[in-house]
Chain A
Amino acid sequence: MALKEIKCSSCGHVNPAGTQLCQSCGKLINEDYDKKKIKDVMRYDGSAVRSKVRSQTLYDKIWNFFTSIRNGVIIIALISIAAAIGTIFPQEYFIPVGADPEQHYQEHYGTLGYLYYQLGLHNLYSSWWFLILNGLLALSIIAASIDRGVPLFKTLYKQHVKKHDSFFKRQRLYSIQETTIEDDKVSSIVSKLKKMRYKVRTDGENYMFEKGRFSRWGPYINHSGLILILFGSMLRFFPGLYIDEIIYVSEGETVAIPTTENEFYIENNRFIVENYDQEEHDVFSDALMNAVVTQNFQTDVSIYRNLNQNVVGSRPDLEKVDDYSIQVNHPYRFDGYEIFQSSFDSSQLRSMTFFLEDADGEQVGDPFVVDLRTPDETYNITDDIVIDMRAYSPDFLEIADNGTLVSQTPVPRNPAFVFEVNEQGEDPERSFIRIMGSTPITDNNEYNIRFLEAEDQVASVLTLKKDLTMPFFAVGFVIFLFGLFIGSYINHRRIWIKNDTAFKLAAHTNKNYFGLKKELNKVLESEDIEQVEDKFVIEQTKKDK
């Protein structure tokens, strides 16, 4: 169903369907338009905003839903509320590595924490619904921009220089004289406005001056920036473009670097924590007296490339690529990746040292060290005494019916052993050893195995990062700020002059009428022409009275 073109009742100009203000004389065609948009009916110079005309098909209805500023604001509000909720408790990636999230939230934040976890709010920013909301925001921005950008384009690039007499009276700033003014005065005004960087178009006795038109595109430019940012955040979900992984590597260990398909390996040669020395820094000695202040966290690593990447699990054939000392804020960079120092873990045990004691309480032979990950099965104490490790459990739980030790987990947290002391010519003596306790298994043991010391297993926690989406965010923000700048600080000013039967002048700007008035009055004053009147000021004065 085609909408009819509209003939202006005042001047007879034929306007396209949906027009709000007559394109020639500026008279209101749609009475309601003025009531709704009291502030500035001239936004699109009254030309039709498509979505406001009529919705027909389903597509149109969906489209119109997203072009609505109100709906756009609702989407933004929903995103803001959701984003705020995501900050009530830490997101899952901020809770300690290896902690069970369900337990962690319940333990630290009680019932609310439990709910938070159950509702999936611990991974809010990558939840499907948050993602969809952002997609809808993108749609809203694009739809609203097209819907308003097209009429704006028409408005700005198809302007008539010649305006109907009544148009002048309708503008906020106007100056209407009884008679015409001399031609040289007009040309003087023209040249003065030109100096103020106005562009001039003429049509007989009609003049139109315009500057700062580009600023009208400000909102569209900053929205393009936003779209680019949303696009960048979308790309983060695409495989390989954004990586944020944890590498847990114990001292002396070599592990595959995640997401490299076992192409790269990293070895932790040494992890260092250096604290500030109280003696060395006179000025800070008081502060350092009571607290340990760390100067440096550092992991010395070697990076390897795997030359045997065939099948999962196949033994890697490593070739050293590089050595590096990773410090806080000094990541190791390779192949688009960055490896940062994140934290360390010394909660596990690496080894335990024992020594053998005879019945008189004298130490026999040298102490022996049991590696808790890959323990040896025999330890030579003297020429005729050997200790066999009969059983070992890294995280002792109980002794099984068949006499073996049962472990709760494979992590050496609570080790327990059954040692057998074999002395030549004597019966073997067995005892069960665990942290804080030693129980003889065989009767009348002559020897005692004593715990000497334990060494912690220090593991460095590194984060692996790769972010190819950053340029989108950077460029997006620059474009956004540029759009914001030109939209905020540059004014689109237009001045119309008609000098046929009488001198008429009107002026319009999208913002800062005060500045325009000042600029214009300076010109008019120098030509001895009556200054412009400001309808807004007149109405205000009327109201005040």
Chain B
Amino acid sequence: MSDFRAERLSAVRAKIAALETGARPQVGTLPFGDERIDACLPGGGLPLARWHEVCAEGLETEIAAAPAAFTALMATPLVRRGEAVWVLRRDDLWAPGLLGLGFPPERLIQVCAKDEAEALAVMEDALSTVGVAAVMGEIEAPDLTAGRRLQLACEKHGATGFVIRRRPYGGAAKREAPGSASATRWRVASAPSEPPAGEFGLGAPRFEVTLERCRGGRTGQWLMEATHAYESGAYSLETTDVAHPLRLVAELGDRQLAPAQSFRLAG
């Protein structure tokens, strides 16, 4: 009898999990390798075959350097599985910089789009292509329809999308659409680096990362470091079990974000 009960319970649990994740089966996750973050994410890691938003504040809404660096670091493990496509609005992404962070530029196809609609169309096209593992797109503000289209494209072959929120220079800011179809939304800012004691100059790049919204998970705020950035030594695309390029340095206070909010938005 207890067997039957346990079975029913696990079935109900699975159903609830499916409802929470938007009734879509989990394709896989990409764990950060630190329990403090992975516990907040559904399935214990960054959900794959979904799309994620990365945004910033102030000057970075136009330059989007910290979001680009953070996205490249997050996507580096994915690039081992297939090609990456970066949809740009301005031709200012610099391959030597990506290489320094550990992202292999020879696996990246860069596309420069004329306007927002074209950038979204290219993103969608790339996401639904076999052999593409990650697609980064610099988009000002995807509306709900565009978001759902991206999600459908992601599900076709399991590619993961990253929308880097970037405002084109000049012109008024686009009004943000209420709600979003993204799986997670990260707010990224550069944080002061800490060089090892007794050393001059800058330490490894650090980022203050806020998980603002997470479907089927919790929000949080962390300080992260790209420990192996600008380290000499060849990287290999073949090895699969390597540590995530981002290391968690400290957990920051969950300031004004109430966890209940994310569940409401997730519907």
Chain A partners chain B:
no
The residues of A with any CB-CB pair to B shorter than 8 Å are none
Which residues of B pack against A, CB within 8 Å?
A: none
